[in-house]
């Protein structure tokens, strides 16, 4: 059996290792587009901070790891997939080759969104997505450098953390009305903004970059709020999209991402997908979504690999989990954190001490939660949401005092244990 895995990020590596464990004699080929060994993009901010070297981003530290497992690594860019022939077309050193497969896994992850802004192609404007990007940013952001970051979402805040550590003059622009708008309520997102500003970072929300022009060695940035800034470097962190363009004409069902079922199968036999590139069923809603977080990618990769190697494994759905450290302030959100129509919620707000807790209910079940500066409750919030336990009298107590969530979690856990016994 020949397995080809397109993508050498966390999902691709976990899948390859799982297949090898289950099928010692199968052929496994991983194709990655970049020249470096398989690495984690989530480690790039730590590289920029200086906590690790480039080798610290590598997913496997032993240079002989893949050779020992008899997993072949190939640098190339997949151009197209041809399910009728069970072949893929790959650009390898500017030469096109066709490779045959028995089972194919697509784990190509995401790619940065490049906003349609005049001047985005000027020198000094970078994404922060690859190790090559990191090298450019490290070189261009020395002490006192004026930097504008576009975007304050989850990835943007991780990059912000790295840039702020470099003693630079940092301005962040976010088009939504709060920071991390896809994981935090307006109250929580505004509190993160206030915290970041207290650390010396200038933040403009509800603001867009309208134009970038060259001004000598500097870049002049025109903002929608009427302000004009002169900066040395611009970092674009305006979001990501599934890397699926090469699948046009393949017949694989894609919309925002690749549609997969609970077994990580695509619409084409013997072709699977895992990670950020998938549009899978959400645990909380039953609807499809892209859940671009590394733990989800690893779970999906394991399930895909088991099924590719002759076993049976499935998922109960993709669960939304976000935990973020922004300059020392920990925030988290789980499940349907924005709530549901007709649902009830409880909220605790302590702006002075940067503490925030928000719980969302459907009938007497906890379906979503958001917290800020309060880490003790994270496990309880996630546990109650994922187990879909009926809270009973605890719902009224939590509506009055959401900080009692740990007591509710412990009591409900003991009830479930007694029922099972």
DSSP 332-380: EEEESTT--TT-EEEEEEETTTTEEEEEEEETTEEEEEEEES--TTHHH
What are the contacts of 33-37 at 24+ separation with CB within 8 A?
Answer: 33/75, 33/76, 33/77, 34/75, 34/130, 34/131, 34/132, 35/75, 36/131, 37/63, 37/73
What's the pLDDT score for residue 418?
60
Unique residue bearing structure tokens 């707000």: 349
Q: What is residue 415's predicted lDDT score, i.e. its pLDDT?
A: 76
What residues does 329 pair with on adjacent strands? 326
Q: What is the pLDDT of residues 299-336, one digit of tens each?
A: 999 999 999 999 999 998 999 999 999 999 999 999 99
Q: How far is it, in rounded angstroms, from Cα 19 to Cα 166?
A: 42
* Phi, psi dihedrals of residue 319, rounded to the nearest 5°: -105, 130
Cα distances (angstroms) measured from residue 407 to each of 363, 371, 378, 403? 19, 17, 13, 9
In whole angstroms, give the CA distance from residue 114 to residue 188. Answer: 27
The overall pTM is greater than 0.75: yes
Going by the DSSP 8-state scheme, the letter that residue 215 receives in this structure is E
Query: How many whole angstroms separate alpha carbon 99 and alpha carbon 6?
Result: 12
pLDDT < 50 regions, the chain: none
State pLDDT tens for residues 112-150: 999 999 999 999 999 999 999 999 999 999 999 999 999
Q: For the chain, first and last CA: distance in Å?
A: 45
Q: Do 302 and 15 touch, CB atoms closer than 8 A?
A: yes
What span, in angstroms and rounded, lies between the C-alpha atoms of 124 and 265?
41
Domains, the chain, ranges and CATH? 2-111+241-308 (3.50.50.60), 114-238 (3.50.50.60), 328-420 (3.30.390.30)
CB 292 within 8 A of CB 332: no
């Amino acid at each position: 059996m020949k397995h080809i895995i397109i993508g050498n990020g966390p999902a691709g590596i976990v899948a390859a290792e799982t297949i090898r464990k289950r099928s010692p004699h199968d052929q496994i080929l991983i194709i990655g587009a970049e020249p470096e060994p398989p690495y984690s993009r989530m480690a790039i901010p730590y590289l920029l901070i200086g906590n690790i070297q480039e080798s610290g981003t590598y997913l496997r530290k032993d240079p002989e790891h893949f050779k020992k497992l008899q997993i072949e690594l190939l640098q190339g860019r997949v151009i197209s997939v041809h399910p009728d022939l069970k072949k893929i077309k790959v650009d390898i050193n500017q030469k096109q080759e066709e490779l045959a497969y028995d089972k194919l896994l697509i784990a190509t992850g995401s790619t940065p969104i490049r906003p349609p802004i005049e001047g985005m192609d000027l020198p000094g404007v970078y994404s922060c997505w690859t190790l090559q990007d990191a090298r450019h940013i490290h070189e261009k952001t020395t002490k006192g450098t004026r930097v504008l970051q576009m975007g304050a979402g989850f990835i943007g805040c991780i990059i912000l953390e790295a840039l702020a550590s470099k003693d630079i003059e940092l301005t962040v622009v976010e088009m939504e009305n709060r920071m991390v708008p896809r994981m935090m309520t307006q109250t929580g997102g505004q509190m993160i903004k206030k915290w970041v500003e207290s650390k010396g970072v200038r933040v403009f929300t509800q603001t867009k970059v309208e134009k970038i022009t060259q001004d000598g060695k500097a870049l002049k940035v025109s903002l929608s709020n009427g302000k004009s800034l002169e900066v040395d470097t611009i970092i674009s962190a305006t979001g990501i999209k599934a890397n699926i363009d090469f699948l046009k004409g393949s017949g694989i069902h894609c919309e925002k991402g690749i549609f997969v079922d609970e077994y990580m199968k695509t619409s084409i036999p013997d072709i699977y997908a895992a990670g950020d590139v998938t549009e899978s069923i959400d645990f909380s809603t039953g609807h499809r979504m892209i859940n671009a977080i590394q733990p989800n990618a690893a779970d999906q990769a394991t399930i895909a690999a088991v099924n590719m190697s002759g076993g049976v494994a499935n998922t109960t759905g993709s669960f939304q989990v976000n935990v973020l450290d922004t300059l020392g302030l920990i925030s988290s959100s789980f499940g349907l954190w924005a709530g549901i129509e007709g649902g009830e919620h409880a909220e605790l707000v302590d702006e002075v001490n940067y503490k925030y807790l928000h719980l969302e209910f459907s009938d007497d079940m906890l379906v979503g939660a958001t917290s800020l500066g309060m880490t003790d409750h994270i496990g309880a919030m996630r546990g109650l949401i994922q187990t879909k336990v009926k809270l009973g009298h605890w719902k009224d107590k939590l509506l009055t005092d959401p900080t009692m969530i740990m007591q509710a979690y412990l009591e409900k856990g003991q009830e479930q244990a007694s029922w099972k016994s």
